[in-house]
Chains A and B, each alone.
Chain A
């Protein structure tokens, strides 16, 4: 089975973010980046499927040159090769434009399965997998907890709301977005890191793929959220703050 995993590089989770001078995105200089956590679960699911059913795992990433760090990591964890659509302007695009790039690059590989994370931690639109499926004319299913390979199909377990689940069978090729947290993420081994250096990373551009980089929706302004509530910060040492909180809970909220 040939599996493509779409991965994205995003600012590290604990980053202190600042809006850039144009007010349209964040300042990216000085930030450290990592794999979008939901995509790490998609990669993990792909590697487990390969271990069980054989085949090949390809990491597919659209991002600036610096995204090669995240691609190397995916190779070190066990992806066989990678496709890097290199572009510095992707932050100005929207889901549809980026999905067109990803879909075009994926189509050339004739995969049986395309996996993505359920959403990105930066934009958080949560749509890339579904849009890729539509562009490629493939069936899809989202928020997947388990994947069972059948002859020319997969039977998957989907998460619904409020603790409900559902099994769905889809013919291959198909696109699945993987729910986060469904299994433990592996670490790259020393051997894996060594071997990653010899693995193929194919670089592509939007021009190679014949895709026009034109957004439909645009971010007009990025800003810190306006507080809906006035938070009363309780200052002092841990002990002092704890004492103040207990006083509030006892005399103002009246629950103690």
Chain B
């Protein structure tokens, strides 16, 4: 067993982040790094990265994603190439099949990893517990391969090292049995066209669970208005129907990077943070000084939002004359 295998997902920006992480792990452990591309014979966007090999795994049964098809194909690839580490981007698709894949090897996927510390003989994966309130160092055990999926934004895609010589692309044939693929996926669809493009806003005022009731939303709406900001929300607010889904920021909503992001009553669960931590300046208003949102905030006000927001509206009005 040797080497690092990065399983990529087509047309997903997190694949490049995972490649960069794989290269870092490879450098630390002095192991070669390869990438796998599934469902196409085109190495595409990964062909210019410094890699030992690119393995393409293509088959008509991999055209549409199914957990049975992907798991069977990747199990064969891994048994053939015998990597010591298998890294994946922590996408919704990976969450759907990677635990199944790891179980095939009597292993446990260390999921949603934010960092690692690695030296030959010692690898520690860092992940969050309790919705980001605490961190944990996790160690692999049992026999390789060791599986880990990496959180969006935890590693920087631009750190991926480019190849100076063309990478060898190898097509790996797999044996898939149509009768073993049990789920019947239909075409993906979008529910409604997005009317609100939060990604274009330079200031975003975003509201979370701390607002308690729908009747309190207009207060935050007014803050957004006086600041000339777009109004956004964390998932629970949109699930409750207090604001439309199109205003949701986070892993299941939009990913934004405004000049200023003001988080009002948002605790800062991982799923929300991945959608906004790229903001240039982050302001958090929350009554809980230990809320994870303060981990990423530049400015924080620890206090009751029902007092702070009205005061802020007044001060902004004054400042704007």
Chain A residues close to B by CB (< 8 Å): 11, 14, 16-17, 19, 26, 94-96, 99, 121-127, 130-131, 133-135, 139-143, 159-171, 180-182, 215-229, 231-234, 238-239, 241-243, 245-246, 248-250, 253, 255-256
Residues in B whose Cβ lies below 8 Å from that of A228: 295-296
Given A228-B296, A256-B319, the answer on whether A159 and B252 have CB atoms closer than 8 Å is: yes
CA distance A140 to B176 in the complex (A): 18
Indicate if the CB atoms of B316 and A256 lie closer than 8 Å: yes
Residues in B whose Cβ lies below 8 Å from that of A162: 254
| Stretch from B18-26, B166-174, B186-194, B211-219 that touches the partner | B186-194
Residues in B whose Cβ lies below 8 Å from that of A181: 235-236, 239-240
Taking residues whose C-beta sits less than 8 angstroms from the other chain, chain B's interface range is 35 or more
Indicate if the CB atoms of B129 and A123 lie closer than 8 Å: yes
Indicate if the CB atoms of A161 and B91 lie closer than 8 Å: yes
Given A124-B129, A239-B311, the answer on whether A231 and B141 have CB atoms closer than 8 Å is: no
Residues in A whose Cβ lies below 8 Å from that of B141: 215-218
Residues in A whose Cβ lies below 8 Å from that of B135: 222-226
Additional A-B contact list (5), CB under 8 Å, known A124-B111, A238-B307, A245-B315: A125-B108, A167-B185, A216-B108, A234-B301, A256-B320
| Stretch from B79-87, B92-100, B155-163 that touches the partner | B92-100
**Partner among B96, B137, B299 whose Cβ is within 8 Å of the Cβ of A219:** B137
In B34-64, the 8 Å CB interface with A consists of none
CA distance A253 to B27 in the complex (A): 38
Indicate if the CB atoms of B137 and A245 lie closer than 8 Å: no
Indicate if the CB atoms of B134 and A168 lie closer than 8 Å: no
Indicate if the CB atoms of B100 and A166 lie closer than 8 Å: no
Residues in B whose Cβ lies below 8 Å from that of A171: 182
Indicate if the CB atoms of A11 and B191 lie closer than 8 Å: no
CB distance from A98 to the nearest CB of B (A): 10
**Partner among B103, B252, B311 whose Cβ is within 8 Å of the Cβ of A96:** B103
Indicate if the CB atoms of A238 and B96 lie closer than 8 Å: no
Main secondary structure of the interface of B (DSSP, over half): mixed
Indicate if the CB atoms of A229 and B296 lie closer than 8 Å: yes
Given A229-B296, A246-B312, the answer on whether A241 and B301 have CB atoms closer than 8 Å is: yes
Given A225-B132, A245-B283, the answer on whether A218 and B190 have CB atoms closer than 8 Å is: no
Given A217-B110, A229-B298, A245-B312, the answer on whether A17 and B133 have CB atoms closer than 8 Å is: yes
Residues in B whose Cβ lies below 8 Å from that of A96: 102-103, 106-108
CB distance from A117 to the nearest CB of B (A): 13
CA distance A256 to B184 in the complex (A): 53
17 pairs, A vs B, C-beta closer than 8 Å? A96-B106, A122-B130, A124-B112, A131-B100, A139-B67, A139-B182, A140-B100, A143-B96, A164-B190, A167-B186, A182-B239, A215-B108, A217-B138, A223-B136, A225-B295, A231-B294, A231-B300
CB distance from A144 to the nearest CB of B (A): 11
Residues in B whose Cβ lies below 8 Å from that of A131: 99-100, 103
**Partner among B107, B124, B134, B182 whose Cβ is within 8 Å of the Cβ of A170:** B182
Indicate if the CB atoms of B184 and A233 lie closer than 8 Å: no
Residues in A whose Cβ lies below 8 Å from that of B140: 216-217
**Minimal Cβ-Cβ distance residue in A for B127:** A124
CA distance A224 to B299 in the complex (A): 20
CA distance A167 to B184 in the complex (A): 8
Indicate if the CB atoms of B103 and A135 lie closer than 8 Å: yes
